Structure 1
Amino acid sequence: MTVKQLRAFLAVAQSLSFAQACERLHLSQPALSLAIKSLEDSLGGPLLVRTTRSVALTPEGETLLPLARRLLADWDNTEELLRQHFTLQLGKVAIAAMPSFAANQLPLLLRAFRDRHPRVNVAVHDVINEQVLEMVRNHRVELGIGFEPEQAGELEFTELYADRFVAVLPADSPLARQAQVGWEQLLQGDFIALQRPSALRLLLEESLARSGRTLTVAFESHQLVTVGRMVACGLGVSAIPSLCIRQMQELGAVCVPLDEPVVERRVGLLCHAGRKLSSAAQALRVVIMEVSRSPTGGFVLPVVPR
């Protein structure tokens, strides 16, 4: 059966008139008759009894009538649903983002996206960088935001910005009054770090190792919020991406530029190179790229106050 054949049968069965059915479907009578005959041939028997004066349903036609109504209603509903998804009147998209981005920049992006597409649902997975890569690779999400992978493989990476690490200090620390802090100075204090396998922790360890330094950790936590509060309470010092400066300041810590060595890494948008994005994911990607390239967009990193 085809949708065209079912529509032809339903039009005749409801009106019991070929002439009225032709007007309703905008078909010629030969085309309508051919559609009905093709349907009967495919099913194996007559559905309509037609005379010069009347049209009636056979018992098999009576059986098909309610089924045809339901099938065509489901088809029309499906067409409308997909049309709404393609036109972004409805839809859903899943994105994974590392916590430092999810807590600081992602809400600004989602606000811009929501303003354009208020009926598209967005599912956010706030996970560590390694899980972001894994979720995109395994098609659990369509988009991810994280650090540039060392081996992209099937992942497509589009840079958004390069994020530089800054020192996080208690407000009463003498270092908090300096214009910038060197790693030798920072590492003299008790260091508070994120727990492995955090990408931020691994990046710090690798960068310091290349300069002949070792990261000795006094306290560690899974959450940046906890790290910030521990620093603010005077338990030690830390280093975080510039992206998180505002968050650390709200927790009561002070941020100062770090050098010797400068530690930075590219942050970008990730998707699976071999998979076409849904309309909703494409729209979200457009918003992310527009905001990242806007001079007044959400990717302008906070300035460390002096």
Structure 2
Amino acid sequence: MNIKHLRAFVAVAEHLSFAQAGERLHLSQPALSLTIKALEQHLGGALLTRSTRHVALTPEGETLLPLARRLLADWDNTEELLRQHFTLQTGRVSIAAMPSFAGNLLPQALKHFRDRHPRVNVAVHDVINEQVLDMLRQHRVELGVAFEPQSLQGLHFTPLYTDRFVAVVPRDSPLAEHATLTWAQLRQADFITLQRPSAVRLLLEEETLAAHGKLPVAFECHQLSTVGRMVASGLGVSAVPSLCIGQMHELGALCKPLAEPHVQRRIGLMHLGEHELSTAALALQDALISAALAPAPLHVKENADEPH
């Protein structure tokens, strides 16, 4: 039994006429009769009684009619729903992004996406770098934005840009008078950073340990916004990815370029390599790539006294 059989049966049952049902379905009466006969043979009995002047439903036909109508309605609704998904008239897509990206560049990409596809729902998970990878591998999200992992392990990575860390200092600090800061200068103050296993924290420790030893961590927290507030309040200094410059300035702190060793890492868009992305995910992926390529400052200038 297939959709063609059901449409033929419902048309004949509603018109009680093979001629009128054939016109509705654009089928000849012989073709329609063969379709009904095939359905009856498949089910094992007559659904219609017919004569040269009269067509009527058998008891089994009466039983099938409401069920067939419901099945056809479900089928048509499914077709329409999928068509809307493919044309982005509706749908849903989920993305996980590390907070430094989610709180800075992601809104710009989402605005671009929303302007084009206003009826597609986007679920955003702003989680630490490691959780982005976990959520992708657990099929909880289709897309992820994070630092490039050392091992992809089944993930496809599309680089968006390379981000270099910058110093974050209080605006009234003597350090704010320097155009560029060294790690030695930064380490003379109390250091504020994210708690482990944050990728920001681990990257800072890995890249500076050999040249400068352990970071003099005085305060650690979970959110970069808290780091910015604490620096602005004069509790210490920090180092964050340069895409956070605007956020740090809004929070009242000041960003400065850092001299060598430069701490930097590629940030990119990821999805499961063997997973076919939905139409909505492909559209969001395009929006993210377009936002990364837009002429927006991604790195701190040598004179980073004004917000970017």
Give the TM-score range, shorter chain: over 0.9
Distance 1:48 1:101 in 2: 65
Which residue does the alignment assign to 1:123?
A: 123
Deviations 1:199-222 (A, max 9, x none): 000000000123252212111111
The residue type equivalent to 2:154 in the other structure is: E
SS at match of 2:118: coil
The reply on whether 1:159 has 2:159 as its aligned counterpart is yes
Which residue does the alignment assign to 1:68?
A: 68
The reply on whether 1:281 has 2:263 as its aligned counterpart is no
The residue type equivalent to 1:136 in the other structure is: L
Distance 1:236 1:300, change over 3 A: closer
For the Cα contact (< 8 Å) 2:242–2:298, is it kept in 1?
A: no
The residue type equivalent to 1:152 in the other structure is: L
Distance 1:175 1:270, change over 3 A: same
Distance 2:114 2:166 in 1: 32
Cα offset, 1:289, TM superposition: 1.4
TM value normalised by structure 2 = 0.96
Distance 1:22 1:301, change over 3 A: farther
Cα offset, 1:302, TM superposition: 5.5
The 5-angstrom pairing of residues 132-151 of structure 1 reads 132-151=132-151
Cα offset, 1:301, TM superposition: 4.2
Segments of structure 1 that go 5 or more residues without pairing to the other structure are none
Segments of structure 2 that go 5 or more residues without pairing to the other structure are none
SS at match of 2:258: strand
SS at match of 1:259: coil
Which residue does the alignment assign to 1:3?
A: 3
TM value normalised by structure 1 = 0.97
Distance 1:106 1:302, change over 3 A: farther
Distance 1:166 1:108 in 2: 22
Which residue does the alignment assign to 1:263?
A: 263
Considering only aligned residues, what root-mean-square deviation do their CA atoms show, in Å?
1.2
The reply on whether 1:88 has 2:74 as its aligned counterpart is no
Which residue does the alignment assign to 1:174?
A: 174
SS at match of 1:156: strand
Cα offset, 1:119, TM superposition: 0.5
| Percent of aligned positions that are identical | 67
Distance 2:253 2:290 in 1: 32
Which residue does the alignment assign to 2:222?
A: 222
The reply on whether 1:37 has 2:49 as its aligned counterpart is no
Distance 1:300 1:236, change over 3 A: closer
Which residue does the alignment assign to 2:112?
A: 112
For the Cα contact (< 8 Å) 1:246–1:302, is it kept in 2?
A: no
SS at match of 1:181: coil
The 5-angstrom pairing of residues 290-301 of structure 1 reads 290-294=290-294, 296=295, 300-301=298-299
Which residue does the alignment assign to 1:101?
A: 101
Distance 1:89 1:301, change over 3 A: farther
For the Cα contact (< 8 Å) 2:245–2:255, is it kept in 1?
A: yes
Cα offset, 1:67, TM superposition: 0.9
Cα offset, 1:161, TM superposition: 0.5
May I ask how many residue pairs the two structures share in their alignment? 304
For the Cα contact (< 8 Å) 2:164–2:299, is it kept in 1?
A: no
